[in-house]
Amino acid sequence: MSICCLLFFVTLLNGKQETALQWGFIPANSEPIKIVTSMFLHGGHWHLLGNMVFLWMFGDNIEDVVGSLFFLFCYFLAGIVATVTYSTFHQESVIPLVGASGALSGIIGMYLVFFPKVSAELVIYFFYWEVHKVKTTIYVAVGCWFAMQFLLFLLIEETEASKIIRVAFSAHLGGFLAGVIFGYIFVWLGYVNRYVRNGKKHWLFGYAT
């Protein structure tokens, strides 16, 4: 989180467009190192803030279950899968891909596997206006999020909306599915059971169930 925030301020000093072109991942001219560097760059303060809020909400719980080393490994691997997924659908694109959204989608996928029954509040928006709040579980909330990402992905790929909407929904989907797979691997290895046996309890989200 600190690295992302620090590099965002560096980006502001160097210029967002210049930094994105230099260190963002461009599918048409792919350089493996930029798969990693692009994860730490953001296109604007709202992009950065949204991702950091998601990292704060979901990341510490995942780290509690799998440990810091495996958390970082899964974070980076989900980000790599997300970038490769995006590149698969946009091989000729010269627009740089930046942001931690793909990696964070992987963390959300792991959270869904580890904590499916945790309570959540689903907020329904019409553009930027909040319409309604529904108390539900993380399973339903994340399921709705995934469905929205998939529908927007189809909209981008099948229409001219890509000229207006500059969001890599395919990266979100790829990272999320990778995270779900990682989550089930850790469940199979017994990490969640050990987390519960140790009596660890998150101050906001509760026990894994």
Question: What is the pTM assigned to this prediction?
Answer: 0.81
Structural domains of the chain in order of their starting residue, each with its CATH number: 2-197 (1.20.1540.10)
The answer to whether 125 and 117 have CB atoms below 8 angstroms apart is: no
CA distance 157 to 169: 10
**Predicted pLDDT at 117:** 80
**Predicted pLDDT at 180:** 96
CA distance 10 to 198: 41
**Predicted pLDDT at 209:** 42
The answer to whether 120 and 138 have CB atoms below 8 angstroms apart is: yes
Residue 13, Cβ density class (10 Å: 0-12 exposed, 13-18 middle, ≥19 buried)? exposed
**Predicted pLDDT at 45:** 60
CA distance 89 to 150: 14
CA distance 58 to 32: 27
Per-residue model confidence as pLDDT tens for the chain (209 residues) = 555 555 444 554 455 666 666 777 888 887 888 888 888 776 666 666 767 777 888 888 899 899 999 999 999 999 999 999 999 988 888 888 888 889 999 999 999 999 888 877 666 665 556 666 777 788 888 888 899 899 988 888 777 666 666 788 899 999 999 999 999 999 999 988 888 777 655 544 444 44
- Kind of pairing between the strands at 129-137 and 119-126: antiparallel
The answer to whether 124 and 130 have CB atoms below 8 angstroms apart is: yes
Reduced 3-state DSSP string for the chain: CHHHHHHHHHHHHHCHHHHHHHHCECHHHCCHHHHHHHHHCCCCHHHHHHHHHHHHHHHHHHHHHHCHHHHHHHHHHHHHHHHHHHHHHCCCCCCCECCCHHHHHHHHHHHHHHCCCCEEEEEEEECCEEEEEEEEEHHHHHHHHHHHHHHHHHHHHHCHHHHCCCCCHHHHHHHHHHHHHHHHHHHHCCHHHHHHHCCCCECCCECCC
Distances 19 to 29, 37, 46, 68 between C-alpha atoms, Å: 16, 10, 17, 29
